[in-house]
């Protein structure tokens, strides 16, 4: 039997499955009052997802990053999460974040079937500043 070599692009198939699944979940939240916007992949290999609930005054910002090598996944998740802060998403009124009191930010790096996720939980203070706190949803 001959050795079959798959093109490098085919190594991204599991990653695309995760992305499609995540996009489907985000759109399913629309039935619960969340608005989902998804920015398509840019040249820097990022996908941005924004979920906003005006009734809950909450938002979730997610940045997906494709790692080029398996050993880069933990470094890339920090880069993806930093992408949220560096692009100043927290202050973007156009995303519907003007009246948001609670914000969750997530960076997700993937390589094949491997995923690594890192996040922040922020609340708006009385001085209109985002303050990082422990996520109340994580309390047991």
- H-assigned helices in 4-123: 13-28, 73-86
pLDDT at residue number 54 = 83
Establish if 8 belongs to a structural domain.
Answer: no
List the strands of the sheet with 102-111, edge to edge: 34-39, 46-53, 58-66, 102-111, 114-124, 130-133
Establish if 105 belongs to a structural domain.
Answer: yes
Establish if 59 belongs to a structural domain.
Answer: yes
Establish if 61 belongs to a structural domain.
Answer: yes
CA pair distance 31, 51, nearest whole angstrom:
12
Q: Which residue range(s) make up the domain with 84?
A: 13-138
Q: How many separate domains does the chain show? A: 1
Establish if 1 belongs to a structural domain.
Answer: no
Establish if 3 belongs to a structural domain.
Answer: no
CA pair distance 70, 109, nearest whole angstrom:
10
From first to last of the 140 residues of the chain, give the pLDDT tens digit. Answer: 455 444 445 555 666 677 777 778 888 888 888 888 877 655 555 567 888 888 888 888 888 888 888 899 999 999 888 877 666 666 654 555 677 888 888 888 888 778 899 998 988 877 777 788 888 777 65
Establish if 7 belongs to a structural domain.
Answer: no
pLDDT at residue number 91 = 61
Collapsed DSSP state (helix, strand, coil) of residue 77: helix
Establish if 112 belongs to a structural domain.
Answer: yes
């Amino acid at each position: 039997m001959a050795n079959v070599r798959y093109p490098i692009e085919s190594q991204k198939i599991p990653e695309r499955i995760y992305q499609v699944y995540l996009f489907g979940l985000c759109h399913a939240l629309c039935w619960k009052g969340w608005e989902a916007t998804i920015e398509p992949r840019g040249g820097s290999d990022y996908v941005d997802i924004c979920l906003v609930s005006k009734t809950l005054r909450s938002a979730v910002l997610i940045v997906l990053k494709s790692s080029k090598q398996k050993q880069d996944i933990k470094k890339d998740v920090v880069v993806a999460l930093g992408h949220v802060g560096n692009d100043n998403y927290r202050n973007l009124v156009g995303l519907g974040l003007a009246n948001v009191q609670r914000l969750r930010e997530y960076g997700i790096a993937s390589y094949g079937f491997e995923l690594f996720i890192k996040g922040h939980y922020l609340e708006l203070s009385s001085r209109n500043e985002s303050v990082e706190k422990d996520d109340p949803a994580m309390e047991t």
